[in-house]
Amino acid sequence: MELKKDSNAVSIDMLLIVHSEKRHAAQGAHSDRQADPGAPPQRRGGLQGVGNGIRRWQKLERNDLHGNLVEKQHAQQTQVITSYDNQGTQLTVEVHPQDAMPQLLKKFSLAKRLQGDKNGNTRARQPGGKDAHAYPWDRSSLKSMPLDLRQFEKLDTYASQVTVKSGLDALVSDLLQEAHSDLERVRAIWIWICHHIEYDIEAAQEKDRQAFKPTTILQTQKTNCDGYAGLFERMCRIAGVQCMTVPGYSKGFGYQPGQSFSGEFDHAWNAVFLEGRWHLVDSTWGSGLVDSTTSKFTFLYNEFYFLTHPALFIEDHFPDNKNWQLLKPPQSLRQFENNMYHKSEFYNKGMLSAHPQTSVIKTVNGKVTVTIESCAPTLFMFMLNGKQEHGLLSLRKNGMKLDVYPPTVGTHKLQIFAKGNSEIYSSVLEYTLKCHYADIDVRLPAELHQPVGPSWFSEQMGITKPSHPEPVIYTSDGRCSISFGVEEGISVLASLHGDDGPVTEETQRRYIFQLQREKRTELKVQLPHAGKFALKIFVKKRQEPGNYVFVFNYLLCCTNSKVKWPVFPESFGNWGQDNELLEPLSGVLPANHNVPFKLKLHGVAKALVKGQDTWPLTLNREGYWEGSCNTSGCQEVYVMVLENANHNFYSYILKYKVNAQ
């Protein structure tokens, strides 16, 4: 090659381009690898599932300089000579005619080239000790390098809106217009791929389908995991950033807790060299997800898989070469299979740890306990075999505790969801429960919703300082009294639910009598029979329209078979929240008896009891209205009040039934 240079021009008569690099491990070491015929079928490749023979890209495209559409125009005029030595090194020589120089020079001026070592070698450096992060995770960051994602806001917006105009080089050139460092170059490429390339489910499921070329991906904007990784590597190299494609196993779509991995690798991702150190990215999983029911892909950007901390990345990515774990010490395949899989949303929503740390749990005396620690107060829910049943979930200030009682012997699927800052609950953990003994005595009410017991959430909703901070209340005589503070302007509603007996939709509130004492609400509860009941608590702001909102419930337990309490008297709208009923508390009165009454009523001029006849109540020195009535000859008894002495209109506030004679 002859160069003639003056202050204004460079003349090139002939240009030789020489590539020298190691063949990918996947081509040499794994392309001939046979699956274990006795092993279970593996998920095949990419977005959480399906691979088509990772690493065919290089075999098809290595004769391209950068995969640009422009070079196709000179295919007939460009001579390419490729050979391998016995060490697996590929040497490619391209001979280009003089009229190709402008396009080639444009490529070289696009961005700085890969930095070579002191001997001029541009081969990507293999990971070493300085790249390794400590295992297990130290909770310092979700990322492998310090990042302030706010610094990418402008770049992310720009990169997500760039469109393909011609070829790969032109696309990278456009993306780098707003990128001023290797980190920003990688970020721009990552954002573009995650927002524009769709996961090709059909291609991923075809075992023998050929790998995707960059030109094909740009045209269809669809590919599998191999294509995502290959495209990301190619674009990074054009941008002058060292990048490698890493094949391996993944815990993605179709993964079952505790399963083993063997045979062909099912996924591919990337390692990128930034600031003197290797980092990990997965643009396939960063782009979206596949719906397990419809098998359709949905774009749903996931920041978690950009420069993920290796101690977190290893939870669902196991590379073919342990060095690409970037961990110290590295994990074995057996450890990868047995370790608990925390989904990306587990960390995205601020979770820190979970116990047990294995994905398969055996019950102890018919019970399993799961705890989660989080950075901040978080709402959780769970499903056992697809239903929100057979468990007690209580919220903690920084996490939750869940006790699960599988109803039958066998294998059960437990899913745990967290809400975080969004309005949507996302799956964060999944366990397989092995139950060898089912405790039939721990049958929980079907209406027992989550969470159980007061918590930071009930306090946030206006309920404070509960008399019973624990979620389960045991009563020997079938009665209990529960109180808590209520913030000003908040109304409370409670209802009792059991699986059998006389509790119906009409009477579920009649076994609870609500009293207001200063700034505390008291709930007197009488159970209709022995058993387990859900006491649900709802709140509503008085000045706002709409329905009451469920906050939490208690589990009430009574083993006394003699318990058979009647309902409380029925109260009407004029029963003031500050009123207090001392007697009679039973809503069913005996026939042909004199029954004493004692109540505290506020803002009342007169009070009376009406049955067959009318009996006035008198106000004593302690502020209570007292008196009695006879239940002879009547089926119902009412307590009535006159609020204004100048009026003659009495209002009903309580209703009792009288037993049949």
For every residue of 467-536, DSSP letters joined together read S--SSEEE-SSSEEEEEEEE-TTEEEEEEEE-SSSS--TTTTTTTEEEEEETTEEEEEEE-SSSEEEEEE
Decide if 149-338 and 456-558 have a common fold: no
Listed range (191-195, 214-218, 297-301) with the worst mean pLDDT:
214-218
Q: What is the rounded CA–CA span in Å between residue 283 and residue 301?
A: 10
421 pLDDT tier (thresholds 50, 70, 90): confident
Q: Is 33 helix (H, G, I), strand (E, B) or coil?
A: coil
118-138 average pLDDT score: 77
Query: What's the pLDDT band for 11 if we cut at 50, 70, 90?
Result: very low
* Three-state DSSP state, 606: strand
Can you give the pLDDT at residue 5? 37
Indicate the pLDDT class of residue 575, thresholds 50, 70 and 90: confident
Asked if residues 414 and 433 have their Cβ atoms less than 8 Å apart, the reply is yes
Contact between 454 and 486 under an 8 Å Cβ cutoff? The reply is no
Instruction: Look at 286 and 64; give whichever has higher pLDDT.
Output: 286
Between CA 478 and CA 15 the distance in angstroms is 94
What are the DSSP calls for 609-623, one per residue?
A: EESSSEEEEEE-TTS
Question: Does 33 score more than 70 pLDDT?
Answer: no
Which CATH fold topology does 346-435 show? Immunoglobulin-like (2.60.40)
Q: How far apart are CA 138 and CA 128, in angstroms?
A: 20
The whole-angstrom separation of Cα 166 and Cα 169 is: 8
Q: What are phi and psi of 25, to 5 degrees?
A: -55, -35
The predicted pLDDT at position 506 comes to 61
The CA distances from residue 457 to 30, 461, 541, 584, in Å, are 52, 6, 16, 35
Higher pLDDT, 400 or 3: 400
- Mean pLDDT of all residues in 402-411: 96
Of the residues 194, 225, 236, 558, only one is catalytic, namely 225
CB contact burial 196-231 (16+ within 10 A = b; e otherwise): bbbbbbebbbeeeeebbbbbebbeeebbbbbbbbbb
CATH placement of domain 456-558: 2.60.40.10
Peptide bond just before 356 cis, omega within 30 deg: yes
- Based on the residue annotation, tell me whether 480 is a catalytic residue of this protein: no
At 6, is the pLDDT very low, low, confident or very high (cuts 50, 70, 90)? very low
CA distance 627 to 630: 11
Distance CA 456, CA 552 (A): 11
19 catalytic residue (yes or no): no
Q: Which of 66, 96, 267, 529 is catalytic?
A: 267
Question: What percent of the chain lies above the pLDDT cut of 90?
Answer: 61
Burial class (CB in 10 A: 0-12, 13-18, 19+), 646: exposed
Per the annotation, the verdict on 403 as an active-site residue is no
pLDDT of residue 519: 83
Longest dimension (CA), the chain: 123
Whether the per-residue pLDDT at 97 is higher than 60: the answer is no
Query: Which among 408, 415, 409 is positioned nearest to 370, based on CA atoms?
Result: 415
Could you give the angle at the alpha carbon of 581 between the alpha carbons of 544 and 613, nearest 5°?
A: 110
Q: Where are the domains of the chain?
A: 149-338, 346-435, 456-558, 570-658
Q: Is pLDDT above 90 for 404?
A: yes
How confident is the prediction for the chain on average, in pLDDT?
Answer: 82
User: Do the Cβ atoms of 429 and 404 come closer than 8 Å?
Assistant: no
Q: How far apart are CA 397 and CA 420, in angstroms?
A: 13
149-338 in CATH: which number? Answer: 3.10.620
Q: What integer is the mean pLDDT of 558-562?
A: 94
> Rounded to an integer, what distance in angstroms lies between the CA atom of residue 626 and that of residue 616?
9
- Is-contact 234 250, C-beta < 8 A? no
User: Measured between alpha carbons, how far is 54 from 209 in angstroms, rounded to an integer?
Assistant: 11
Helical (H) or strand (E) element with 346: helix 344-348
Q: What confidence score (pLDDT) does residue 19 get?
A: 46
Note the pLDDT tens digit of each residue in 160-214.
999 999 899 999 999 999 999 999 999 999 999 999 999 988 877 776 655 678 8
More confident call, 226 vs 79:
226
Res 407 pLDDT > 60:
yes
- 581-595 pLDDT, tens per residue? 889 999 999 999 999
Residue 98: predicted pLDDT: 52
Q: Report d(CA 611, CA 517) in Å as an integer.
A: 29
From the list 350, 456, 464, the residue with the least C-alpha distance to 397 is 456
Angle (CA) 249 265 132, round 5°: 45
pLDDT tens-digit series, residues 260-280: 999 999 999 999 999 999 999
Quote the pLDDT of residue 55.
Answer: 38
The answer to whether residue 440 scores a pLDDT higher than 50 is yes
- Taking Cα atoms as reference points, which of 297, 189, 223 lies closest to residue 56? 223
CA nearest neighbour of 523 among 513, 533, 531, 532: 513
CATH of domain 570-658: 2.60.40.10
pLDDT in the model for residue 181: 96
Query: What was the pLDDT predicted at 207?
Result: 63
In the block, which residue shows the tokens 């469920």? 550
Nearest residue to 252 via CA among 239, 269, 231, 272: 269
Catalytic residue among 282, 316, 320, 403: 282
Scan for tokens 């012997």, then name that residue: 409
